[in-house]
A and B are shown apart, each in its own frame.
Chain A
Amino acid sequence: MARKIRVLVAKPGLDGHDRGARVIARGLRDAGMEVVYTGLHQTPEQIVEAAIQEDVDVVGLSILSGAHMTLFPRIYDLLKENGAEDIMVMGGGTIPEADVKALIEGGWAAQIFTPGATLESIVDWINTNVNLN
């Protein structure tokens, strides 16, 4: 039997908007994934440490504070420094289209979901893009 996909849902930054993160965490769990939720106010260092320790396939960042252009690159770089660049970084939040494009084209995020995305579309994306080998 194939193992389950492991996801770290993380809330970097100082804001406390955790509605999205918690809905997604529960939705991914209900879709059969193993989900770890970091809780609020995590630094990039704390998130990367948790991702490596929990041996996850995907890190999902929920950012509604406008700090996405700082946080995505920082977390990506830290994963790389720690030899964990195989962990996929995705995210969601209040992120303008132009920034979504810049983050994906820059390689800092594999995918970003913005308001209105369904749980199914997120689950499908993870199932399609995570390689369980």
Chain B
Amino acid sequence: MTQKKLDEIKAAGENWRAKRSKLKDRDARFETVSALPVNDIYTPEDLGAFDYMKDLGFPGEYPYTRGVQSNMYRGRLWTMRQFAGFGTASESNERYKFLLARGQTGLSVAFDMPTIMGYDSDHPRSLGEVGRVGVAIDSLADMETLFDGIPLDKVSTSMTTNAPASILWCMYLATGEKQGVPSDKLTGTIQNDILKEYIAQKSWIFPPHPSMRLITDIFAYANKHVPKWNSVSISGYHIREAGSTAVQELAFTLADGFAYVEAGIEAGLNVDDFAPRLSFFFNSHIDFFEEIAKYRAARRIWARRMKEKYGAKNPKSWMLRFHTQTAGCSLTAQQPENNIVRTAYEAMAAVLGGTQSLHTNSMDEVLALPTEKSVQIALRTQQIIAYETGAANVIDPLAGSYFVEALTDQMEAEAEKYFEEIERRGGVLAAIDQNYFQQEIADAAYQYQRAIDKKERYQVGVNEFVDTSEELDIDLLTIDPEIERKQVESVQKLRRERDNNKVQDTLDRLRVAARGSENMIPCILECVRAYTTQGEIVQALREIFGEYKEKPTF
């Protein structure tokens, strides 16, 4: 745009503002859900030194602001991937088959808390938690059941496991072997993002250094043997759910990503040998434009840093590919049917932001695990976006919007400020140790809750449009307490019947590897092939690595 045109716009804008300022606005706070103030209008003036080729470029091309594939959803729609799992492996197996039969295109495994924390189902700490929030997996035998009748060369599977990710991943690889699928044909993702566990999700086992070593061991092993696997899903989702703002989600997640890149390089790997398999996982909260700007900024920041700072040469290392889940924390227990609507807007933002895969929450997830009916509505929500709304026809359709571009720039600039602060504190691990992220997130969460309580921010059905006569009339999924007993019995039976000498041998071999510096993955794979349980493997490593302890603050 010429300076003359800009001056014209400026003059007209000033005129307009003089008239407009006489009008009285509604009594409301005009800001995003992250408390970022927004203007009433955006014009070319807000784009500053906007440079199309430098800031946006074309889809599938550096800096990927407009998307990572050149044809985006015209080539292939995003993967519709509903996170699911509960009870025993055979019950979850049925739910997966139900979802695949209804057009879901990828699996996403939710494990129960004992499995996430590395305890077997019969450990005293597992009492009451077996199969509650996900599926209980104690050994390879359970993993085999989980994917019974589901050919692993035909589906891609995402597994939400972090501290013991190496073990569950090895169980998956071994299940592939049993099905006759070689590991280089397996596709999927393990979350494997321990940094956000210390920061937000808080499901840790080992201290940071051995945890980072397990992760770089996975990078190296995946590069050689499981090349189509996403070896980490660097997650902002949990950071946001813990109460962060959109900018904090963006900045802390990317900072974690850079920390993994640096750890890989320090472990002697070439950046282009593992960076193409790094993937991301973001939240989609209720503030539509802020979320879209966040995804676009994330791609641009990642590409620039990977190329310029870390010297990656492979364009695949520059591309930020991500999964999205709609925001559980935006849902309300009151009038739960309204959650269908919230989720639909959030899903639309993820699609307009160019997500590679998507989970839509079910309306009842604030109350319990979802029923089949509510999961089906959630999946249908994605199918309606994909097949009816036209949103998948045009690539990055909001590009060029003065508002969206200005917000994208603002997100990037704010994230850069956080990167500086994290660096000033000595990096991500040091900042975790200083409780920095945890405190920033807790502050944001508290301010958000205060704003709701004081009605400075509205939640329909919670603090406004409240229905006091409301009685919940949706069915909830209940978990039969019998499941825990059955699972405990089954792991104890396994321990009686397997070759226990072999189990001890594989554990001894793993201990040697863990004390030394060799890659631990082949040893873990040997353990799981011998039906050593997850709890036994974790215990062996815990004795060597110790346990992480958080300083509880609020």
B463 / chain A contacts, CB cutoff of 8 Å: 118
B129–A13 CB distance below 8 A: yes
B445–A23 CB distance below 8 A: yes
A118 / chain B contacts, CB cutoff of 8 Å: 452-453, 463
Centre residue among A13, A70, A71 by max chain B CB count within 10 A: A13
- Is B132 engaged at the interface, CB distance under 8 Å to the other chain? yes
A74–B452 Cα distance when bound, in Å, is: 34
- Is B241 engaged at the interface, CB distance under 8 Å to the other chain? yes
Task: Identify B476's interface contact among A16, A25, A65, A96, CB under 8 A.
Answer: A96
A69–B333 CB distance below 8 A: no
Q: Mark interface residues in A40-71 (1 if CB within 8 Å of B CB, else 0).
A: 11010000000000000000000001110111
Q: Which of B38-46, B195-203, B258-266, B351-359 sits within the interface?
A: B195-203
- Name the interface size band of chain B: 35 or more
- Is B243 engaged at the interface, CB distance under 8 Å to the other chain? yes
B132–A67 CB distance below 8 A: yes
Centre residue among A40, A67, A97, A114 by max chain B CB count within 10 A: A67
B550–A39 CB distance below 8 A: yes
B235 to chain A, nearest CB (A): 13
- With A18-B202, A115-B332 given, is the CB distance from A66 to B479 under 8 Å? yes
Q: Mark interface residues in A92-133 (1 if CB within 8 Å of B CB, else 0).
A: 001011000000000000000011101110000000000000
B552 to chain A, nearest CB (A): 3
A21 / chain B contacts, CB cutoff of 8 Å: 554
A16 / chain B contacts, CB cutoff of 8 Å: 197, 201-204
A120–B554 CB distance below 8 A: no
- Is B117 engaged at the interface, CB distance under 8 Å to the other chain? yes
A115 / chain B contacts, CB cutoff of 8 Å: 332-333, 366
A37 / chain B contacts, CB cutoff of 8 Å: 552-554
A94–B366 CB distance below 8 A: yes
A114–B333 CB distance below 8 A: yes
A94–B113 CB distance below 8 A: no
Task: Identify A65's interface contact among B119, B133, B452, B550, CB under 8 A.
Answer: B133
B387 / chain A contacts, CB cutoff of 8 Å: none
B469 to chain A, nearest CB (A): 15
A78 to chain B, nearest CB (A): 13
A13–B132 Cα distance when bound, in Å, is: 12
- Is B36 engaged at the interface, CB distance under 8 Å to the other chain? no
A129–B481 Cα distance when bound, in Å, is: 33
B202–A66 CB distance below 8 A: no
Closest to B242 in A: A19
A25–B553 Cα distance when bound, in Å, is: 9
Q: List 15 A-B contacts (CB under 8 A).
A: A15-B133, A18-B202, A22-B554, A23-B442, A23-B445, A25-B554, A26-B446, A26-B554, A37-B553, A37-B554, A39-B551, A40-B552, A65-B113, A70-B127, A119-B449
Interface residues in chain B, defined as those with a beta carbon under 8 Å from any beta carbon in chain A:
113-114, 116-117, 119, 125-129, 132-133, 197, 201-204, 241-243, 329, 332-334, 366-369, 442, 445-446, 449-450, 452-453, 459, 462-463, 472, 476, 479, 481, 550-554
A-B complex: 10 closest residue pairs judged by Cβ atoms: A16-B202, A70-B128, A39-B552, A66-B132, A14-B113, A67-B128, A25-B554, A22-B554, A115-B333, A118-B453
Interface residues in chain A, defined as those with a beta carbon under 8 Å from any beta carbon in chain B:
9, 13-19, 21-23, 25-27, 29, 35, 37-41, 43, 65-67, 69-71, 74, 94, 96-97, 114-116, 118-120
